[in-house]
Structure 1
Amino acid sequence: MSDNKEVWKPLSVTEIQMIFKKIPILWWIAGGWALDLFLERTTRVHSDIDTVILRCDHIILQEHLQDDWEMCKAYKGKLIPWNQEEQLAPQFDNIWAKKKGETSWAFQVMIFDTVDKHWIYRRNGAIRKLLEDIGLESLSGIPYLRPEIQLLYKGGSSVIRDKDVIDLNNVLPKLSDKEFHWLKKSLSIQFPNGHPWINVLDSYTKIT
């Protein structure tokens, strides 16, 4: 979910699954890999790998990873060590992890906020879904973030990268009507004065 000048040697999706399946929490693959799991094919090179957990589970995650992994909070362009048993304040929603003794970062953990069994979109709290509806599962049993939610995070960012546009174009033809209209409605809520991706969705509707 982030471009940076740090050194990355990302784990594979399978390696992430091997680590996270041992931790008693809900988790999902996010970012570009989530969209490739949805499409059931690798569409481009991925420079990093993202996972998502719920805020209520972040200490459990730390307890299971702290022996082997060094973890930092990413905030406003800085990496801050995540201290043992430190409850993360609401502004912290992005953790980077690397093997102890290594210099390359291996994966990111994004933290979702929830209210009454709903995922809440941080950029606009009016956008939400039931937790049971935010993820899908690959044929090999890997949980991943639903494509319409991942595209909202990409399109709703302050900076839309070339790879985000590539992802949108790859995924649009595969979205169901329900997913398509949820994405369009959500972008319209976040950007009531318009947004380039809303225009893309409008144009796509007209030719299909």
Structure 2
Amino acid sequence: MTTEAAWEPAPLAEVVDLFRRSETPWWVAGGHAIELAVGHTIREHDDIDVLILREDQLAVQHVLAGWEWWASDPPGTLRPWHPGEYLHMGVHDIWCRPGPGAPWRIQVMLDEAQDGLWLSRRDIAVHRPVAELGATSSDGIPYLRPEVQLYYKAKSPRPKDETDFAAAVSILAPAQRIWLAKAILETYGTHSWVDRLDVPEEYRRLPPRDLLDDLPYDWEQR
């Protein structure tokens, strides 16, 4: 089975109601996370994403009990994800639908964590405390912080990623801009978004220090 089947993304409110059953951390991701950060709708969405830590992956089978779950393994090809099966590193996308033949409704992404640190699946040199990975909207929805989501979108920006970047960049605090510039340079090298982040010159080139040496940061600063 390929990933070419139809998508009919679940509404954000439905996704939130489902995942609120989870006793483990989860965050709305993708373009919806950017919209939760900026506080208004930006564009239409052809899917909806939820981020879960790999160590908590079986929570997906709990909150979506009775659904079909398909792992992207190998990437570009889907296979059934069996009840109780642990998906190891290298498998980080799960497509979910209510039943056979139904459109795909929710995509779950798995990321790594170790000793309280989130580790990017793209580059373990990019990391931060799990406690600082997400934020919560005014109506209580947990979402991936915009600088982290934009870091993932920076790999090969599509038109919708450029739209999300343009909408989010103005709300990023200076420390968020610096973190994003450092992360992009660390993983992808030279990138047009770095100049658009308007960070000091020293952060427009790959720094010699590890990203563990984060700046002191007030996450509520705007």
Please indicate, yes or no, whether the TM-score normalized by the shorter chain is above 0.5: yes
- 1:175 corresponds to which residue? 172
Deviation of the 1:169 alpha carbon: 0.7
2:208 maps to: none
- 2:193 corresponds, among 197, 200, 203, to 197
The equivalences for 1:96-175 within 5 A come to 96-155=95-154, 157=155, 159-175=156-172
For 1:166-197, what per-residue CA distance to the aligned partner results, in whole angstroms no more than 9, with x for missing partners?
111111111111111110111111134x1222
Report what 1:71 is aligned to: 69
Q: CA deviation at 1:201?
A: 2.5
**Aligned mates of 1:64, 1:141 — CA distance in 2:** 18
Shift of residue 100 of structure 1? 1.5
Alignment partner, residue 60 of structure 2 = 61
1:77, distance to aligned residue in structure 2 (A): 0.8
Q: Distance in 1 between matches of 2:114 and 2:63?
A: 25
Partner of 1:80: 79
Task: Return 5+ residue gaps in structure 1 as ranges.
Answer: none
| Cα drift, residue 7 of structure 1 | 0.7
- TM superposition score normalised by structure 1: 0.90
Distance 1:140 1:102, change over 3 A: farther
Tell me if structure 1 keeps the 8 A contact 2:22–2:62. Answer: no
Question: Partner letter of residue 192 of structure 2?
Answer: P
**Please, what TM-score do these two structures have when normalized by structure 2?**
0.84
Structure number with the higher helix fraction is 1
Residue 205 of structure 1 and its aligned partner are, at CA, apart by 7.1
Q: Percent identity?
A: 34
Deviation digits for residues 42-84 of structure 1 (CA, Å, limit 9, x no counterpart): 1100111000111111123213423x21000013211111011
The AA in structure 2 aligned to 1:199 is D
CA-based RMSD? 1.7
Instruction: List structure 1 runs of 4+ shifted beyond 3 angstroms.
Output: none
- Output the CA distance in 1 between the equivalents of 2:164 and 2:130: 24
The number of equivalent residue pairs is 198
Q: What stretches of structure 2 of length at least 5 have no aligned partner?
A: 202-222
- Are the aligned partners of 2:67 and 2:98 in contact in 1 as well (CA < 8 Å)? yes
Residue 165 of structure 1 aligns with an amino acid whose one-letter code is E
Partner secondary structure for residue 57 of structure 2: helix
Counterpart CA distance in 2 for 1:129 and 1:145 is 12
